[in-house]
Amino acid sequence: MNYSIAIYGGPYGHQASHSAYHFAQAVLAKGHHIQRVFFYHDGVYNASALVSPPQDEVNLPQQWQQLANTHQFELTVCIAAAVRRGVLDANEARRYQKPAANLAEGYQLSGLGQLIDASLESDRLISFGP
């Protein structure tokens, strides 16, 4: 089965991303495929390269990167929600005249249409968040 996942909560302020990560691991362990993980609302904070949890805590954004790299699925971030929250790639940083970009490697900014596409192209779209 082909899954896509939408995450609406940040990596540490809400259980959404953590639960979604464990769901993704379980889906992959059962031999299913993940097409895309779409980060929206506060979920875009999962894509910040500046997230720095204490050493004894899980670095959830980094775990998403590793899982996506291993299993070859997309980590897509809503561009409107990201820019509003200060999560920028190099192009958006230049566009808004900001001193630096902070979108983590492996994540890509895209429009809300990618969430619509995920719902159309996947067998299941599972949402996590408030």
Distance of CA 72 to the CA centre of its chain: 14
21: number of Cβ within 10 Å: 21
Phi then psi for 47, rounded to 5 degrees?
-95, 5
Q: Is 66 a catalytic residue?
A: no
What is the C-alpha to C-alpha distance for residues 68 and 58, in angstroms, rounded to an integer?
17
SS3 (DSSP) at 34: strand
Per-residue buried b or exposed e for 85-120, using 16+ beta carbons within 10 Å of the residue's own CB = bebbbeebbeeeeeeeebbbebbebbeeebbebbee
Catalytic residue among 27, 37, 78, 82: 78
Give the closest residue to 2 by CA, choosing from 85, 115, 125: 125
Active site residues: 78
